[in-house]
Amino acid sequence: MDSFGIAISGLEAAQKAFGVIGNNIANAATEGYHCQTLNLVPSYTSQVGTVLIGGGVDVAEITRSIDSLLENEILRQYSSLGKLSQETDTLRTIETAFGELSSGSSLSKAIDDFFNSLQDLATYPDESVWQQQVVAAAETMANQFKTMEDLLENLKDQITLEAEQTIGEINTLISTIAELNDSIERLEIGGGQANNLRDQRDQCIAELSELIDVQTQSRDFGVIDVSIAGIPVVTGVSSVGLEVGYRQESVLGVTVAGESNYQTEVQGGKLGGLLSLNNEIIADIQNDLNTLAGAIIQQVNQYHIQGVGSEGSFTQLTGWSMVSGDLADIEPPLTDGTVYVRVIDTATGEITRTAISIDVSADSLTTIAADISAVTGLAASVSGSVLSIQADAGYEFDFLPSVLPSPTDSDFSGATSPPDVSVSGIYTGNENQTFTFTVSGSGSVGNGTLSITVTDGHSNVVATLDVGSGYAGGDFFDLDNGIKIALGTGDLVDGNTFEVEAFAETDTSGFLAAVGINTFFSGTDASTIAVCSDISDSPGRIAAALGADMTDNSNVLRLAGLADQAMADLDSLSPAEFYRKFITDIGLELSVKQTRQENTEAIIKNLAEQQSEISGVDINSEAAQMLIYEQMFQAMAKYLDTVQSSLTTLMELL
């Protein structure tokens, strides 16, 4: 009977081999399939005396040809490629929108056109056609900023929708993996082999890795646990779904469905790329765009508030609505400082300048309004966190830095008939100063050896003025800082002094620009930048002048000069340089990611070739194996027939 057992075991082994070979050939083109191998072992069943009689052949197992380390590396690379592909495609879209520096409708050109229009206005500061050109160029630039910001926001909306669709695909794969785990475990606990099911499950994990970075852990009976972003999504035969949402404003994350503990550090796969784009790449681009817009707004407004246009000084100015009346809540943050307001009595021509102290921690719009209202000729009020300043009848006001026509303080003690001192000009220094004029010698202006020594607030000698013999009363001295001084006839005594206040800034706190008083732009960033309605409605309000006669172009030249001025908020770059830099940064980042994508694709190709050598189905090899087992089957059949014939002959002899 052992001979029959040997024959039957051989026939069964050959039949199973045919099944394995047929399965391999049938799945030669199936994605994720691993070639299977029939492992045979000799069977020993009996011993006669000292002789061990063979019992035929046993099928030990059917194994998959698989290298686990290689498979895990392929999963990791697929995950990296999924992320890089998503990032590269989106960055290419952004570069197309931002990168056309020579385009007629680009933001770069709009910025250049705005500053060029200010330069044109400097030539004709009083002419409405050039004023209107500035307004039109400013509105075009503001619209370009908004267009770029809208593009980025639309991209983020699309990313959110795509992330939601991707999480749906991820949840489907998670559920399928858990179901296949269940089928594999049931089959293998019962002693079966689930190689085809394992391949299906592993292919689902591979597809999942393209969507999000996965971590796997093998368990008994072919079960694999899967984690995503530290979240165990498949544990044995159980699974949990995921969802995407915002952890905080604009920060997209992943969490278990129904919970709010969003994880934003998703490293790989398509979803990882979407989160990286939303939370980092596009957010950084938006930050740069908003920084550029904010710097232009702030710097233009900082200069604009100090000047006046062809319409002259003001009878009323109204700011914009603030989120809070407390100065400490204002963005961008204010600093303690002083606002200097000029008030003009239109009947007498008398001009006074009053300092309004700003204490950020203690003051509010209401307290500042009260301080302004205490100035003769002015009244201020706050309604709905909006500051308004009104001039009384017969008065006007502004914030011009031009020097007052007379010294702000003087001491002519001992002089019988002191001269009148006339002050004019526009100060060109970089800091607010009080200049002190000290007389040396005694006598009449225009006679003797009278001189005046001029010192700044740091006690540095700025100039020495010879007002003795040879000086004609009324002639102006130019102090080489924009200020001019003239003395009329009269006498002076050694040690007499007078002071002149000079202003580089009439608002050292940033208060006026922050609350919208005499500003050119409203808003704080790319999405909110706009030309103030007062300017667009009355282009003659564009503050071109800084001088007391309001006919100069000093302020508009300062505004135009911002085009080439390095700004601290722009990393010490000019607006044009900053824009080019961040456009270049987009191109550089795209180039780096394209290179990484190409390298990853090359790595995957190499790994796939290695995988094919180990796990792929070689048709020729399978055909050769089929011939071997065919011969084995035929030989075993012949062997069985021979045994049967022998037994028949033996029975006939008996």
SS (H, E, C) 483-545: EEEEECCCEECCCCEEEEEECCCCECCCHHHHHCCCCCEECCCCCCCEECHHHHHCHHHCCCE
- Cis, bond preceding 332 (omega within 30 deg of 0): yes
Phi-psi region of 429 (alpha: psi -120 to 50; beta: other; left: phi over 0): beta
Q: Collect all residues with Cβ–Cβ distance below 8 Å to 413 and sequence separation of at least 6.
A: 493, 496
Q: How buried is 526 (Cβ within 10 angstroms: 0-12 exposed, 13-18 middle, 19+ buried)? A: buried
Q: What is the phi/psi pair of residue 419, to 5°?
A: -75, 155
**Continuous segment of H or E residues that includes residue 180:** helix 128-189
**pLDDT at position 71:** 87
Q: What is the pLDDT of residue 104?
A: 55
pLDDT of residue 615: 86
Tens digits of residue pLDDT in 589-599 = 999 999 999 99
Dihedrals φ, ψ of 207, to 5°? Answer: -65, -35
Residues of the chain short of pLDDT 50, as ranges, are 1, 101-102
The predicted-structure confidence for 556-591, as pLDDT tens digits, reads as follows 999 999 999 999 999 999 999 999 888 889 889 999
Alpha-carbon torsion angle 16, 21, 26, 28, nearest 10: 140
- Extract the tokens encoding 474: 């009324």
pLDDT at 103: 54
- The first and second tokens of residue 447, run together, are 């006679």
Residue 56 three-state SS:
strand
Q: Under 8 Å CB-to-CB from 544, ≥6 apart: which residues? A: 121, 122, 125, 126, 307, 308, 309, 310, 552, 553, 555, 556
State how far the alpha carbon of 230 is from the alpha carbons of 202, 216, 218, 224, 276, in Å.
20, 11, 16, 16, 17
What is the predicted pLDDT for the residue at 101? 43
The rounded distance, in Å, linking the Cα atoms of 222 and 235 is 13
| Separation of alpha carbons 476 and 249, rounded Å | 61
